[in-house]
Structure 1
Amino acid sequence: MAAGLVISAPASGVGKTTLTLALARAWRNSGLRVQCFKSGPDYIDPAFHAAATGRASVNVDSWAMDRGTISHLVSRGIDADVVLAEGSMGLFDGVAARGVCGTGATADIAEMLDWPVLLVIDPSGQAQTAAAIAAGLRDYRAGVRLAGVVLNRVASPRHEALVRRALLDVGIAVFGALPRHAEISLPKRHLGLVQAEEQAEIGKLIDEAARFVAEHVDLDAVLRSAATWSPQPAASGVNVTPPGQRIALARDAAFSFVYPHMLEAWRAAGAEISTFSPLADEDPDPGADVCWLPGGYPELHAGKIAANARFRSGLRAFAETRPVHGECGGYMVLGTALTDAEGIRHEMTGLLGLETSFAKRRMHLGYRLAELAAPMPGHQAGARLRGHEFHYSTILAQPDTPLAVVHDATGAVIAETGSRRGQATGTFFHLIAEDR
């Protein structure tokens, strides 16, 4: 039996990830087996979770996944002592229209698993009002239980005392209060947290966070507040078909946004994955029957990608006889050109006519439901694919045949249709699951 707990907050940027990592590492250091999950379509936090626990973390998503898929993914915590699900945005933040089994809100996962919520509250610039916010979150939705609160970025002992008293007056437990401590903050980038693999000091950073949190939070009380949980057998697994039997997967600092559950599902279905690095001027495995370019930060490496002739020519040769698919950043690299934030235009592989620019920034964010007009690797025409889009590039040209009719979470048709030309296909959204 494991102890299950959801870590959430009233909003983004309050300290959910730092607290999750600190708790996970502190409990792991005490000898407990800790399993983490991420609620929502975040492909960066699971890598930090793995660094903290030594166990792979996966995403669970109520908008894109059905209950069977979520149960299947969460069941990986069956041998753990503690299971932590880190939320995204605020506790109840999701889209307006329900997806497969929810709106994508962290509260959906908390209610589905019947796990209590540990709230991270940042009371900067307020005192008793923090208690009103916590009480409102506690009472907002039946079926979502509040375990208690950890205060973050407390200004002084007097400030802490005011907030603690107000929370206790409304019957909310306070497990600890963290003073401001800039040394354990995690660096950010325009898509969110910098990736774990980019930080050489990540282990030291997490250890420092664990030490700091253990000094200020009653870890035993937090653990006692968690729900006793035993996973139920899942009726179904992840509904994702591998794009091929042997997959050449681009994998380096420019191509690293892959949902862990996708790779696991491919392997579980019998597919083999061979990785290659476009930044190291490597080309795809000639023995592969499909090539997959995930998203990442190609705009930060556009000059190097443009200069790597072996990669570009090798990918073009591969695409003459076998399918190549790109997601978001990978889609941009399959295009004709990418203009970076400084306005410098870099030639890409030219397998598609797409041209994008980061000099003209425009945020694209949200869930996507795509109805394929033509096949793409692993999926037939007519398939309904659920995914998520998040980037800041502007489309300068998208001249090829549209790959799909793509809707946002409200059902509105959007212009980011994806493209297909010959053996090459691409989408701006990152695939999460296919509708059953």
Structure 2
Amino acid sequence: MKGVVVGGTASGVGKTVATLAVIEALREAGREVQPAKAGPDFIDPSHHRVVADKPSRTLDLWLEGEAGLRCNYARGEGDVCIVEGVMGLYDGDVSSTAAVAEALELPVVLVVDAAAGMESVAATALGFREYARRVGREVEVAGVIAQRAGGGRHAEGVREALPDSLEYLGRVPPDDRLEIPDRHLGLHMGEQAPVDREALTAAAEGIRADRLLALASEPPGLEDTACPTAGHGGDPSDAATTTPTVAVARDEAFAFLYPAVVERLRELGNVVTVSPLAGDPLGDVDAVYLPGGYPELHLQALADSATLAAVAERAAEGVPVYGECGGFMALCRSLTTADGETAPMAGILPAEVRMHDRYQALDHAELEATHDSPVANAGERVRGHEFHYSSATLDRDARLAFETRRGDGLTGDGDGLLAGRTLGTYCHTHVNSGVFDALVESARASGV
């Protein structure tokens, strides 16, 4: 696929809406669009999925490494890939938008707020392009989308002010219907509050899809990219004599799931999707994965969940269970909202969790295993990211499987609460962390 990175001058400039308008414009032009997101976010990709009708791929150098990032891009399907950036173009110490564009050798389309400017839009864009050269980055800022720009003279003024080296690729009009509303702990997921499609269709008319496609380029050397596999003890698919089945929780309480994770689990075994909110039967599974999400919004349903009760039963039998962030919270004894409402959870892990009004951690993370667990052997390192509004109170004799090398973890210096073959962590991971290969390998080794 050819591709383009949609970067921004700062957080909140309107990258997501501009990206959705670009996706819609390309679809109207008859193109099959593969959306992607630079950075570890789950919210923006959910909006991509609604508009593109295709899962968005995560591109993050910290989570995946350069080879993993290029592999994840190459596994996308479509005529053109539109990569939404994270924060401002150059912001982020381990995986900025500029770093992702550089790794893939893709041109950048810069989203600039034009609500109160014309010539200043051009000056801003020119500064962002020249900054790459000043700091020695191989980043090509090739075009501009004017966010919140009016039509007529306003848009024409922006276009005329741009130098020939920066292409005017259209505008997104000021329209309240294009705003993505705030919600609990951030923005609404795409399925819960999609952008108004009538307004988005109107915005797409202002995007110069033909010129954007002309700028797009194909990352060189993708055909030679070897997709890395990871996990303790090698690739379990090599010597597999059994095909384990992994249950993956998926519903509004457990919605933070990277598509590549499910793809990898399906390469290594069988995957069944269950909804704890619906009380789906767990069945005869060999491992369980509970991703992050919003369990605190569904306290009573999870307290009464036959699915979580079955997870607890299987955990007691020795089935490996792995929970990340919201999944970790659901595996604990209880969960208390910021308003003080408390409900019992699965009761597998010896901790109580409480929500707060402010986030407790937000960063890329790295953990070093100090004990063997279902997802890593002692001495191995796992990379991921943290973003949570809760804190956990652990029992005094609680065992932690990891020391934190970057991030806050559960206790500041530790993460990975371990009880038998159940592990819960605040760290969200991608496939190149190795934990999912290791989880499948643990399922085979458990013999249950």
Q: TM-score, normalised by structure 2?
A: 0.85
The equivalent of 1:193 in structure 2 is: 187
Structure 1 pair 374–335 and aligned structure 2 pair: CA distance change class (3 A): same
The equivalent of 2:278 in structure 1 is: 280
The equivalent of 1:382 in structure 2 is: 379
Conserved 8 A contact 2:333-2:349: yes
Pick one of 361, 366, 369 that aligns with 2:366: 369
The equivalent of 1:356 in structure 2 is: 353
Structure 1 pair 39–395 and aligned structure 2 pair: CA distance change class (3 A): same
Pick one of 420, 423, 426 that aligns with 1:425: 423
Conserved 8 A contact 1:72-1:238: no
Question: What are the within-5 Å matches in structure 2 for residues 241-320 of structure 1?
Answer: 245-268=244-267, 270-285=268-283, 287-308=284-305, 310-320=306-316
Pick one of 78, 82, 85 that aligns with 2:83: 85
| Cα deviation code 1:308-333 (max 9, x no counterpart) | 3x234322211111122210011111
Pick one of 96, 113, 121 that aligns with 1:130: 121
The equivalent of 1:183 in structure 2 is: 177
| Cα deviation code 1:284-339 (max 9, x no counterpart) | 22x1111111110001111221233x234322211111122210011111112111
Matched-pair identity in %: 35
Structure 1 pair 90–239 and aligned structure 2 pair: CA distance change class (3 A): farther
In structure 2, C-alpha distance between the alignment counterparts of 1:336 and 1:156, rounded to whole Å:
56
Distance apart, 1:426 and its partner CA:
0.5
Conserved 8 A contact 2:374-2:421: no
**Which 5+ residue runs of structure 2 have no aligned equivalent?**
238-242, 436-448
Question: What are the within-5 Å matches in structure 2 for residues 1-16 of structure 1?
Answer: 2-16=1-15
Whether 2:36 is the aligned partner of 1:41: answer no
Structure 1 pair 147–419 and aligned structure 2 pair: CA distance change class (3 A): same
The equivalent of 2:344 in structure 1 is: 347
The equivalent of 1:221 in structure 2 is: 211
In structure 1, C-alpha distance between the alignment counterparts of 2:19 and 2:3, rounded to whole Å:
13
In structure 2, C-alpha distance between the alignment counterparts of 1:118 and 1:191, rounded to whole Å:
29
Distance apart, 1:156 and its partner CA:
7.0
In structure 2, C-alpha distance between the alignment counterparts of 1:127 and 1:394, rounded to whole Å:
46
Report the secondary structure of 1:301's partner residue.
helix
Report the secondary structure of 1:261's partner residue.
helix
Distance apart, 1:207 and its partner CA:
6.0
Whether 2:141 is the aligned partner of 1:146: answer yes
**Which 5+ residue runs of structure 1 have no aligned equivalent?**
96-102
Conserved 8 A contact 1:366-1:390: yes
Q: Which amino acid aligns with 1:341?
A: A
Conserved 8 A contact 1:3-1:82: yes
The equivalent of 2:412 in structure 1 is: 414
Q: Which amino acid aligns with 1:144?
A: V
Conserved 8 A contact 1:284-1:318: no
Structure 1 pair 396–57 and aligned structure 2 pair: CA distance change class (3 A): same
Structure 1 pair 195–278 and aligned structure 2 pair: CA distance change class (3 A): same
Conserved 8 A contact 1:284-1:291: no
Greater CA drift, 335-344 or 325-334 = 335-344
Greater CA drift, 230-239 or 253-262 = 230-239
Conserved 8 A contact 1:251-1:276: yes
Distance apart, 1:213 and its partner CA:
2.7
Conserved 8 A contact 2:71-2:225: yes
Q: Which amino acid aligns with 2:227?
A: S
In structure 1, C-alpha distance between the alignment counterparts of 2:64 and 2:264, rounded to whole Å:
14
Q: Which amino acid aligns with 1:336?
A: R
Structure 1 pair 405–229 and aligned structure 2 pair: CA distance change class (3 A): closer
Conserved 8 A contact 2:361-2:408: no
Conserved 8 A contact 1:408-1:414: no
Conserved 8 A contact 2:25-2:205: no
Report the secondary structure of 2:25's partner residue.
helix
| Cα deviation code 1:339-378 (max 9, x no counterpart) | 1121112221221122221245443101111111223334
| Cα deviation code 1:61-102 (max 9, x no counterpart) | 11222222122111124x63212111111111112xxxxxxx
Structure 1 pair 21–237 and aligned structure 2 pair: CA distance change class (3 A): farther
Structure 1 pair 414–132 and aligned structure 2 pair: CA distance change class (3 A): farther
Structure 1 pair 32–126 and aligned structure 2 pair: CA distance change class (3 A): closer
| Cα deviation code 1:92-129 (max 9, x no counterpart) | 1112xxxxxxx211111211221110011113455544
Conserved 8 A contact 1:368-1:409: yes
Conserved 8 A contact 1:25-1:207: no
- Equivalent residues, number: 418
The equivalent of 2:439 in structure 1 is: none
Question: Over aligned residue pairs, what C-alpha RMSD do you find?
Answer: 2.8
Report the secondary structure of 1:278's partner residue.
coil
Report the secondary structure of 1:331's partner residue.
helix
Q: Which amino acid aligns with 2:98?
A: A
Conserved 8 A contact 2:35-2:82: yes
Greater CA drift, 345-354 or 153-162 = 153-162
Structure 1 pair 214–21 and aligned structure 2 pair: CA distance change class (3 A): closer
Structure 1 pair 160–27 and aligned structure 2 pair: CA distance change class (3 A): closer
The equivalent of 2:106 in structure 1 is: 115
In structure 1, C-alpha distance between the alignment counterparts of 2:44 and 2:50, rounded to whole Å:
10
